[in-house]
Chain A
Amino acid sequence: MHTIVVDLGYGDAGKGTVVDRLCARPPGAEPVTAVVRFNGGAQAAHNVVTADGRHHTFAQFGSGTFSGVATHLSRLMLVDPLALAAEARHLAGLGVPAPLALLTVDRRALLTTPYHAAANQARERARGTARHGSCGMGIGETAAYALAHPADAPTAGDAASRTELRRKLTLLRDRLTDELGPLGAPPVDACLDAFAAFAGQVTLVDERYLPRLLRRGPVVFEGAQGVLLDEWYGFHPYTTWSTTTFEGAETLLAEADRPHGAALRLGVVRTYTTRHGPGPLVTEDPALTASLPEPHNGHGRWQGAFRAGHFDAPAHRYAVEVCGGVDGLAVTHLDAPSRHSGLGIVRGYHTADGGPMSRIPAAADAPGDLDRQQRLTDVLLTARPDAAQSPGRDPHTWTEALTEALSAPVLMESYGPTTADKVYGGGGSRAAAELIPPGSRNRCPETSPAGR
Chain B
Amino acid sequence: MGSGNWSTTVYGAAEDYRAASGTSAFDYSDRLTASAPRHTWAAHPSLDPKGLTVRESRDSDEHPTSLALSVVFDVTGSMRTVPRVLQTKLPELFGLLLRKGYTEHPQILFGAVGDATCDRVPLQLGQFESDNRMDDDLGNILLEGGGGGQLTESYELALYAMARHTSIDCHERRGRRGYLFLIGDEMPYGKVKAREVREVFGDEIGEDIPTAAILAEVQRTFDVYFIVPAGAAHVGNADVLGTWRKLLGQNVIELDDLGAVCETIALTVGLGEEAIDLASGLDDLADIGSDAGAAVGKALATLGQGSGTVARSSAPLLDDVPGASGTIRL
Which residues of A are interface residues toward B (Cβ below 8 A)? Answer: 47, 52-57, 81-82, 84-86, 88-90, 92-95, 97-98, 100, 114, 118, 121, 125, 136, 181-187, 190-191, 193-194, 197-198, 200-201, 295-296, 298-299, 301
- Count of chain B residues with Cβ under 8 Å from any Cβ of A? 49
Let me know if B330 and A187 touch, CB within 8 A: yes
Other than the known A114-B6, A187-B330, A301-B235, what 16 A-B pairs have Cβ atoms closer than 8 Å? A82-B9, A82-B13, A86-B13, A86-B16, A88-B16, A89-B145, A92-B20, A93-B143, A94-B146, A95-B38, A181-B324, A186-B6, A190-B11, A194-B13, A200-B17, A201-B21
Tell me, in angstroms, the Cα distance from A97 to B323 when the chains sit together. Answer: 40
Are B16 and A93 touching (Cβ within 8 A)? no
What are 21 A-B residue pairs whose CB atoms fall within 8 Å in the complex? A55-B147, A81-B13, A82-B9, A85-B12, A85-B14, A85-B16, A92-B33, A93-B33, A93-B146, A100-B20, A114-B9, A182-B326, A184-B328, A190-B7, A190-B14, A193-B10, A194-B14, A198-B13, A200-B17, A201-B17, A295-B150
CB atoms of A186 and B322 under 8 A apart: no
Determine if B14 and A197 form an interchain contact, defined as CB atoms under 8 angstroms apart. Answer: yes
Give Cα A182 to B321, complex, Å. Answer: 12
Contact B149 A184 (CB under 8 A): no
B246 at the interface (CB under 8 A from A): no
B1 at the interface (CB under 8 A from A): yes
Contact B9 A55 (CB under 8 A): no
A53 x B118 contact (CB < 8 A): yes
Query: Are B77 and A88 interface neighbours, CB within 8 A?
Result: no
Residues of the A chain whose Cβ atoms lie less than 8 Å from the Cβ of B3:
184-186
CA distance A163 to B122 in the complex (A): 46
Residues of B contacting A52 in the complex (Cβ-Cβ under 8 angstroms): 38-39
Judged by a CB distance under 8 angstroms, whether B144 is at the interface is yes
Query: How far, in whole Å, are A114 and B149 apart by their CA atoms in the complex?
Result: 25
In the assembled complex, how far is the CB of residue A208 from the closest CB belonging to chain B, in whole angstroms? 26
Q: Mark B30-69, 1 if CB is under 8 A from A, else 0.
A: 0001100111000000000000000000000000000000
Q: Report A-chain residues with C-beta under 8 Å of the C-beta of B146.
A: 53-55, 93-94
Which residues in B have some Cβ–Cβ distance to A below 8 Å? 1-3, 6-7, 9-14, 16-21, 33-34, 37-39, 77, 80-81, 118, 143-151, 234-239, 321-326, 328, 330
Partner pick for A198 among B6, B17, B148, B328, CB 8 A cutoff: B17
User: What chain B residues lie within 8 Å of A200 (beta carbons)?
Assistant: 17, 21
Q: How far is the CA of A85 from the CA of B14 in the complex (A)?
A: 8
Task: For residue B10, give the distance in angstroms from its CB to the closest CB of chain A.
Answer: 5
Residues of chain B within 8 A of A298, CB atoms compared: 150-151, 234, 237, 239
| A197:B149 contact, CB within 8 angstroms | no
Closest residue of chain B to A47 (Cβ to Cβ) is: B149
Cβ-defined partner of A94 (8 Å) among B38, B238, B321: B38
Which A residues touch B234, using CB under 8 A?
Answer: 298
Residue from A184, A295, A299 in contact with B2 in the complex, judged by beta carbons closer than 8 Å: A184
Q: Are A54 and B330 in contact (CB under 8 A)?
A: no
Partner of A197 from the list B17, B38, B77, B322 (CB cut-off 8 Å) is: B17
Given the interface pairs A52-B38, A184-B3, the reply to whether A295 lies near B13 with Cβ below 8 Å is no
- Of the candidates B234, B238, B326, the one having the most CB atoms from chain A within 10 angstroms of its own CB is B326
| CA–CA, A82 and B231, complex, Å | 12
Smallest CB separation, B144 vs chain A (Å)? 7
* Interchain CB contact under 8 A, A121 and B1: yes
Identity of the chain B residue whose Cβ is nearest the Cβ of A52 in the assembled complex: B39
